Chains A and B, each alone.
Chain A
Amino acid sequence: MLYAILCYNSEEAIGSWSKEYHDETMTKLYAVNDKLARQGRLGPVARLLPTTAATTLRKGREEMVIDGPFAETKEQLLGFYVIDCTSLEEAIDTAKELAKANPGTGSYEIRPVAEFHPSQLADEKQPAT
């Protein structure tokens, strides 16, 4: 079974980390990553840019593009895509394409990725399709 672990914290607090504390924490996190990778249990890992860089496409009868992150508390995170785009426009167009395939309610938060490590899962553990 594959599990996604979603990381939540106050980005204001993260932004106030000293360089020493940041580096020390990252070293400890990478140690966990390395162990999982050696075991062939590590899928893709991404670190996102701050929510200030986010744009949200709100689905509905009329789609709306909103500055900032997804802020609705009545809806839940159901999945995510990682796509390669040359511009924010292209990312918004892609989200609109998804919205067309899956219309109605909900939103797509479009957030640039700061750091991306591709999957290091052992082959036999690749998710079944």
Chain B
Amino acid sequence: MTDLGWIDPILGAARPRVMGALLRYFRSLDTAEEAFQEACLRALKTWPQNGPPRDAAAWLILVGRNAAMDQVRRQAKQTELPDEAVLSDLDDAESSLADRLDGEHYKDDILRLLFVCCHPDLPATQQIALALRIVCGLSVKQIAQAFLVGEAAMEQRITRAKARIGNAGVPFETPGAPERAERLAAVAAMIYLLFNEGYSASSSREAEARKPLAEEAIWLARLLLRLFPAEPEIMGLTALMLLQRARAKARFDGEGNIVLLEDQDRSLWSRPRIAEGLALIDKAMRHRRPGPYQIQAAIAALHARAQRAQDTDWAQIDLLYANLERLQPSPVVTLNRAVAVSKVRGPEAALEMIEPLGARLQGYFYFHGLKGALLQQLERPQEAREAFGRAIALANTPAEAAHIRHHLDRLSC
């Protein structure tokens, strides 16, 4: 660690606010990024001597804006554009800069910056990559490593995403309440997608590579929560991710294979993450405005609160899944509920519950895996074997297949 180790976190923390403001001035992601880079270079030059400014973000916005304006002036001269046309607009920006920095403006700046990355024209993978590059400030190389793709391919993905956004246009007017709620929901969905991308690893090695994705998702959720501290769904989302992430160390065994929730060594769960997740879900519940993230977080909280797997409050989990089914009907939610039902009312009731899902979930690995497990409990080995066979054929990863094979082994002895 160099002596300048304290500067990077300050630059990283200021990044969303500074990029948000620069995007508002220049209305171009590329210009905003260049301006931010330039401001960071100057910070690295002057802060070690002068110490950090009291408001690092305001300093970076001013320096970045001035640097970019110099650049615009130079380019304007080269192409012999009338200076005034460019400058009057920018001077205008300068006069109101102080007001804008003092006001609540920066919340919408950061939300806009995040929202730009969630543009509906962009496929999910591009949304996430762009957010990691633009908002979190990860390098293309870091993002490529986390997605397990080549650097050139990732560079291209990000460039394409930026071009699409440039063509589609970015909404710069200050949003009204309904637009703000809509943006917030889109950003929350993107953050959870990013988290799942980091969570969906099938081996401990893959999980290690993808770890930054989950960490950045939590970082973004906290950022959002500081901007909108009274939104129960944002509390729920943050809690959900913290509670799931708390299990990271217990998810793989010594050989790097997946360990299921009920078999995990709970002493490996991260206590601080659980404490923070539980505190947030407690806060969210007080609002009595339940939503899908809060319910999922409440389910994760019940797992976190159980000292041992057999202490899990499955009846409560069943109720929560029933609520989730009402709010967000989906066969996958019902499938998850069936696991709780099998614990509370037995495998027969659970099997009855998932049978009607067969048509819609016939290509889904977990459906056949759960069906096999329930049939096994009901001592119907022939049908169980058949269901496990289908699950293996549909397994997405060798780890999933190995897990089902393990069940099959138990059936044959």
A residues lining the B interface (CB < 8 Å) = 10, 12-18, 20-21, 24, 49-53, 55, 65-68, 87-89, 112, 114-115
Contacts and interface: CB of A to CB of B under 8 A. Distances in A.
**Which of B219, B235, B238, B279: most chain A CB closer than 10 A?**
B279
Contacts of A87: 282
A55 B1 CA distance: 36
B238 A88 contact: no
B283 to A, nearest CB: 6
A14 B6 CA distance: 10
A12 B222 CA distance: 9
Nearest to A10: B13
B238 A52 contact: yes
Contacts of A114: 272, 275-276
Given A112-B276, A112-B279, 11 more contacts: A10-B13, A13-B13, A15-B13, A18-B8, A18-B9, A49-B276, A50-B276, A52-B238, A88-B283, A114-B275, A114-B276
Contacts, number: 69
A52 B280 contact: yes
Contacts of B12: 13, 16
Contacts of B226: 12, 51-52
Contacts of B223: 12
A17 B9 contact: yes
B250 interface: no
Interface residues of B, number: 25
Given A16-B219, A51-B226, A67-B229, A21 B279 contact: no
Contacts of A65: 286
Contacts of B280: 52-53
Contact of A53 (B8, B9, B230, B283): B283
Contact of B276 (A16, A21, A53): A53
Given A88-B283, A112-B276, A112-B279, A16 B229 contact: no
Contact of A50 (B1, B5, B222, B282): B222
A15 B226 CA distance: 13
Contacts of B10: 10, 13, 16
**Which of A13, A17, A87, A89: most chain B CB closer than 10 A?**
A13
B225 interface: yes
Contacts of B272: 49, 114-115
Contacts of B279: 49, 53, 88, 112
Contact of A16 (B9, B225, B275, B282): B9
A37 to B, nearest CB: 22
